[in-house]
Amino acid sequence: MRQRRLIVLKFGGSVLPDEASLARAAHEVYRWKREGWSVVAVVSAIDGETDARLRAALRRGDGACDHAIAAAVAGGELHSAAQFGLFLERAGIDGAVVNPGAIGLRAHGAALDATPIGLDTAPIRRLLDAGRVVVCPGYVATDEEGRWMLLGRGGSDLTALVLADALDAERCRLVKDVDGLYDTDPNAPGPAPARYDAASWDDALARDGSIIQHKAIEFAKSRRLAFELGKLNGSRPTRVGDLGLLESAPERTRQVRLALLGLGVVGAGVFESLRRLPEVEIVRVAVRDPGKHACAGIPDDLFTTDPVDAARCGADIVVELIGGTGAALDAVRAALTTGASVVTANKALIASHGEELGALASASGAGLKFSASVGGSMPLLEHLRSRPGDAPRRVRGVLNGTCNFILERVAAGAPFDDAVREAQRLGFAEADPGRDLAGLDAADKLVVLAHSLGRDDLALGDVRVEALTSESAALATNAAREGRVLRQVAELDLSGGRARAWVTLREVGPDDPLHAVRLERNAAVVGWESGAVTTVAGRGAGRWPTAESVVADVLELVRAGAPEEVAAGAGGVV
Ligand code: HSE
């Protein structure tokens, strides 16, 4: 049966010029994950690696058997898949790098240009059901004897299509350095060639030079398998399938000018990620003390100490990571008033001023996005909008990574103060960890959740909070002895006339989905009007998971086009 909301994404060497570019591919995976898709990612070797390995293998093994050469070359894909798995984990995306041999990806024929003959989908399905992104090295397979085989140059395309076919994926997108199918290479000099929004398999075979592996197109044609060809963060890929040829203008890449306010734990991660995105030009960085960041490799002329000035500098997007409701509020007001879109991770700001800021954004046609304010890279705000025709009635979750981390450490025998210091050192705690411990950080998040659902009848003062102290944390040790765990549980009830919310310390048993929430992770159980109950989980705190969510909001604004075209979406208002 067709697997709804399963996408196979293939990242070719043309979008992997170096290892660092795998972080960019991780953004693409997160884009789909947070929209509720299950993702299988097929990765090629880093650009140039296959040629280099082939040359080296031929030099070393004069007259070597093709399987030996295949084994040497396969290392390129295995390496990039392993690195990609690490980038996903860093971003807080649960991944699983699979071994093509162990998932039964068999091929026969010539060892360097083999034909796939089988795949065992059961292990992949189990991993997908557990919420993992499955990462599979492209291009490589094994024969019946377990020897390495290669699927021919460009064979990662074939791996992706074979996986999409076997898994009955709803979509398969080959991600390359072009935005779709062209008559000739659009990057070559000369007049711009025709570009297509849709094409048949035969059209693709006739028109495509060497962008897609032709063996892969033939396979798709034989299986009547539709697929897409597009670029990173693309919205209008060419669809190839049982389709008439449809010519259309290229998909323009929108360049945005961006001001970054704050260069703390999260800000530094966001800067590091954004500086690698060709569609983003960072035009200002506002920090309290530029001298402190002299070694960060940031050009001096980008720095300002005035966040409001940075917010008004004419940037298209302002990313606010100062935190709190002082300077951050002034700067966000200034940005939205002048029509710049804002991305923020600041839950206190949205909880206390979300309504006002939403109105400012609407008035100026700017976007206001705050996905990172709740749950790090756990896409809870998106999840709350994931069921058309249904509405969340209750949310119950672990929403503060710091408290969860401390409770786990204390349960394992660590002194309370040491656990707090460790949470600070690892970048989980707020600048003022008192807000985490008092339950106010989780309370802010509940108010943000209510606000994102259009419920402005819940203010921070309405949320009943119970603080985590060394005394209450000590209960975690007793709970652990009985197989239970102590969690800080945040609850939002929207079922009555008025929104109600609590943050309390609760023991939860092994059957509770919140029992398995480890360390700084977050999770939430959502009860829906229809009676459905769903769960969502992820890394709730820390530099990279939070930066991932911020970057996803920025990339969404880039995709949406001019700010005035930005539609209201999850984790954001206009
Ligand atoms: N201090 C917050 C937490 C950071 O620990 O969850 C993420 O919002």
- The answer to whether residues 496 and 513 touch, using CB atoms and an 8 Å cutoff, is no
CA distance 369 to 554: 8
pLDDT value for 367: 97
How many Å lie between the centroid of ligand 1 and the Cα of residue 2? Answer: 38
- pLDDT by residue, tens only, the chain of 574 residues: 567 899 999 999 999 999 999 999 999 999 999 999 999 999 999 999 999 999 999 888 777 799 999 999 999 999 999 999 999 999 999 999 999 999 999 999 999 999 999 999 999 999 999 999 999 999 999 999 999 999 999 999 999 999 999 999 999 999 999 999 999 888 888 888 999 999 999 999 998 778 999 999 999 999 999 999 999 999 999 999 999 999 999 998 889 999 999 999 999 999 999 999 999 999 999 999 998 887 778 899 999 999 999 999 999 999 999 999 999 999 999 999 999 999 999 999 999 999 999 999 999 999 999 999 999 999 999 999 999 999 999 999 999 999 999 999 999 999 999 999 999 999 999 878 999 999 999 999 999 999 999 998 999 999 999 999 999 999 998 888 888 899 999 999 999 889 999 999 999 999 999 999 999 999 999 999 999 999 999 999 999 999 999 999 999 999 987 333 333 333 444 3
Please enumerate, as own/partner, the contacts of 287-293 that have beta carbons within 8 Å and a separation of 24 or more.
287/262, 287/263, 293/263
Q: Is the CB of 436 under 6 A from ligand 1?
A: yes
- The answer to whether residues 97 and 140 touch, using CB atoms and an 8 Å cutoff, is no
Q: Is the CB of 13 under 6 A from ligand 1?
A: no
- The answer to whether residues 40 and 128 touch, using CB atoms and an 8 Å cutoff, is yes
CA distance 447 to 463: 8
Give the tokens for residue 68: 């030996």
Q: Is the CB of 430 under 6 A from ligand 1?
A: yes
CA distance 226 to 199: 10
Residues 6+ apart with CB under 8 A from 23: 87, 91, 273, 276
Q: Which atom of ligand 1 is nearest to the CA of 372?
A: 8
Residue in this structure with the two tokens 């071994």, named with its chain if needed: 99
pLDDT value for 279: 94
Q: Is the CB of 441 under 6 A from ligand 1?
A: yes
CA distance 476 to 488: 11
- The answer to whether residues 442 and 399 touch, using CB atoms and an 8 Å cutoff, is yes
Q: Which atom of ligand 1 is nearest to the CA of 404?
A: 5
How many Å lie between the centroid of ligand 1 and the Cα of residue 432? Answer: 11
Q: Is the CB of 433 under 6 A from ligand 1?
A: no
How many Å lie between the centroid of ligand 1 and the Cα of residue 289? Answer: 24
Q: Which atom of ligand 1 is nearest to the CA of 541?
A: 7
Residue in this structure with the two tokens 């693709």, named with its chain if needed: 204
CA distance 106 to 142: 5
pLDDT value for 550: 98
Read off the DSSP letter of residue 205.
H
pLDDT value for 564: 31
Q: Which of 371, 378, 428 to mutate to test the pocket of ligand 1 (most atoms within 8 A of CB)?
A: 428
pLDDT value for 24: 97
Which residues are known catalytic residues? 445
pLDDT value for 562: 36
pLDDT value for 2: 67
Give the tokens for residue 525: 């159980």
SS3 135: strand
pLDDT value for 207: 87
Q: Which atom of ligand 1 is nearest to the CA of 522?
A: 6
3-class DSSP string for 33-73:
HHCCCEEEEEECCCCCHHHHHHHHHHHHCCCCCHHHHHHHH
How many Å lie between the centroid of ligand 1 and the Cα of residue 436? Answer: 7
Task: Give one DSSP letter per residue of 476-521, joined into a string.
Answer: HHHHHHTT-EEEEEEEEE-SSSS-EEEEEEEEE-TTSTTTT--TTE
pLDDT value for 145: 95
Read off the DSSP letter of residue 529.
T
CA distance 220 to 553: 34
Q: Is the CB of 400 under 6 A from ligand 1?
A: yes
Q: Is the CB of 428 under 6 A from ligand 1?
A: yes
Beta-carbon neighbour count of residue 80 at 10 Å?
A: 27
